[in-house]
Structure 1
Amino acid sequence: MKKRLSRLAAALLAAALLAGCGGSSAANSSAATYDMNLSQEAAVAEGGGESSLMPEDVSTGENAQQKIIYRADMTLESTDFDTARDALLAAVEDTGSWMEYSHLSGTAEDRDRYANYTVRVPVEHYQDFLTQAGQAGSMLSLNESAENVTSTYIDMEARISSLENQRDRLNELAAKAETTADLLEIESQLSDVQYQLESYTQQLRNLDGQVTYSTVDVTLREVSSLTPTGVTFPQRLADAFAGGWNGFLLFIQGLILALVYLWPLLLIAVVAFVIIRMLVRRHRKNHPLPPKGSRPAPAQYTAPAPTQSEEDSSKPKYL
């Protein structure tokens, strides 16, 4: 029994070593191909060629194809929200894209609608979608990023290849197992390998989906007047005049709307003002004020009559 277990352990160790060597050779071969591609890109850059980050510049060879994830964030505004949204949805349909996320808020009456879209675009139509979607409204901003995940992709492929070799070898050992204990040990190892294989396969599929379909986040806002986008001083000056006039019109419109919304309070204030004024007039009528030019006569002073002692003291005394 111990000899069988020893032989089984030696066989498992040999299978792991063989699979590791196979995976390492595959990874080294893929890494060499990747380094060669990077050298080619550097040569193109030195020769004045176009950027190798664009989808159309990616090599078409199966081993030389770069794995790049493209992302973009676009902000648009429009005075005609419905037309801009229809143009944006048309761009999604024309480029074979699909809508991953959509959110709409605001109302047409208040002219404050706001839309958020996340669009998955085929990588070969990435630039076409950005161009067509950018024409749907006035573009305020456009941010792009490109992430090269070729090394990660190659590493996952190598791991998957190594795990597949381990799985095949374990299946062969399971077929030759002589005891139940040996079979259970092999099946335990096989279950662990199968779990790792499924995990890496799923990660590779997700990565491949991000490479195949670029992600573009689009924000569309409804505005009463477009944000100035002039570059030169005359354009900025003209935009400033136009923006000032539009701001004045918006202020007048807002003031009128505020008065309309507050008409019950204004009516109550007018009625209260009329009542208070009537009460003040009635009070003044009942209690009139003296004329401004007339003054009351000053009170005359009357000296008191002298007493007897005062009269005696006032008479002259004779000797």
Structure 2
Amino acid sequence: MKGSKKLLAFSISILMILLLLASCSGKSSEHTALSENTTAISEPASALPDITSEAEESDSQKSFGNGLNSKSSPLEPKKVITTIQLSFETTEFEKSNEELNKIIDKYNAYVENSNISYNHYYNQQMYRYGEFTIRVPKDKIVSFKTELNLIGHMVSENTNKQDVTKQYQDTEARLKVITTKEERILALLEKAEKIEDIITLEKELSEIIYEKENLKTNLMDLDDKIDYNTFYISLQEVQKVSDTETKDTSFGIRIKNAFKNSLYSFKKGIENFIITIIYNLPFILIIGIIFFIAYKLFKKKKKKIDKIE
């Protein structure tokens, strides 16, 4: 009986030891699994800086690549044709014309076209009028335009800018295509043996050369208009330049201009009256003589009538 109790107690002890070992083993494996899971979760977090750095490195490489592209192929400046129309008044036409020629020489410009005529008649006087087409280097137009104030009083101004960048690029692209086509035709022409083929290729080649020359001419014309801006200048000879009054002109300046214009009009009125008398003096003398003779005849006839009575 006692033996069986000892055996039972021993068995229970063994069982408890086994349960305790199993419990420790489960906790250890659980701890290991938890540790492994934690490691598995923490690995992406630890890898995140690497991903970020790789992204930053990729962005920096991309940015650096863009920088290279911008340096290797900078944006081409726009090709613009500028035309400026200016109108001037002057009381000294010869002096203004000479001053204009000096300015043209100073800025290496040239006169493309000019016309001077007497087309304005006022107060029995003829006034000259000049039209000038002047080509000016585009890097000197500001200084050139500023000095034009020396030739007279500017009364109007108009500036027009035409962007021909696309037209220029299209013409260049077409010229490259035509040049490539010409080279191919020449290569085929060297290999051609039949007369018909040679005639056909030569005809096509002549058309290509004609178009190529036209494209070159168009580019040269565009380059000329871009590099040399065009000024259309009109110069009108007048007795008195116009007063420039705006809404900002002060009342005192307006009174001064009115008084000056009044004196000018009075002076010119007297001058024109005297000139008119001088122009009509022969007629006045003839009419005076006729009236004088008529008066003498009338007076003589009246005396005879008085004697008869």
* Same fold per superposition (TM over 0.5): yes
Aligned to 1:132: 147
Matches within 5 A, 1:298-313: none
Uncovered stretches (5+) of structure 2, i.e. residues with no partner: 1-72
Partner of 2:12: none
In the TM superposition, what is the alpha-carbon distance from 1:121 to its structure 2 partner?
0.5
Match of 1:104 in 2: 116
State which of 297, 300, 304 in structure 2 corresponds to 1:279. Answer: 297
C-alpha change, 1:186 and 1:198, in structure 2 (3 Å) is same
* DSSP 3-state at the match of 1:112: strand
TM-score in terms of structure 1 length: 0.67
Partners in 2 of 1:69 and 1:209 — Cα distance?
A: 9
Q: 1:257-272 maps to which residues of 2 (within 5 A)?
A: 257-272=275-290
Residue in 2 that maps onto 1:75? 87
Instruction: Give the counterpart letter for 1:153 in structure 2.
Output: Y
Deviation at 1:86, TM superposition (A): 2.1
Question: 2: CA distance between counterparts of 1:202 and 1:237?
Answer: 58
Pair 112,62 (structure 1): closer, same or farther in 2 beyond 3 Å: farther
1:161 matched to 2:176? The reply is yes
Q: Larger radius of gyration, structure 1 or 2?
A: 2
Which amino acid counterpart does residue 81 of structure 2 have in structure 1?
I
Q: How many residues align?
A: 229
Give the counterpart letter for 2:294 in structure 1: I
Deviation sequence 1:87-124 (CA, Å, 0-9, x none): 211111111100111222349x9572222211111111
1:138-287 counterparts in 2 under 5 A?
A: 138-231=153-246, 232-234=249-251, 235-287=253-305
**Change beyond 3 A, Cα 1:159–1:63:** farther
Deviation of 1:242 after TM superposition, in Å, equals 1.6
Structure 2 distance, partners of 1:218, 1:183, is 55
Q: Please give the per-residue CA displacement for 1:144-165, whole angstroms capped at 9, x wherever unaligned.
A: 1111111111111111111111
More helix by share: 2
Alpha-carbon RMSD across the aligned residues, in angstroms, is 2.3
Tell me how far apart the structure 2 counterparts of residues 284 and 70 of structure 1 sit (CA, whole Å). Answer: 84
Between the aligned partners of 2:170 and 2:259, the Cα distance in structure 1 is 59
- Please give the alpha-carbon distance, in whole angstroms, between the structure 2 residues aligned to 1:176 and 1:222: 70
Q: Distance in 2 between matches of 1:277 and 1:242?
A: 47
Question: Counterparts in 2 of 1:30-109, with a 5 A limit?
Answer: 64-106=76-118
Tell me how far apart the structure 2 counterparts of residues 244 and 143 of structure 1 sit (CA, whole Å). 32
SS state at 2:201 partner:
helix
Greater mean deviation of Cα atoms: 216-225 or 168-177: 216-225
Displacement after TM superposition at 1:288 (Å): 4.2
Taking structure 2 as the reference length, the TM-score comes to: 0.69
Structure 1 unpaired stretches of 5+: 1-60, 290-319
**Which consecutive aligned stretches of 4+ in structure 1 deviate over 4 angstroms post-superposition?**
none
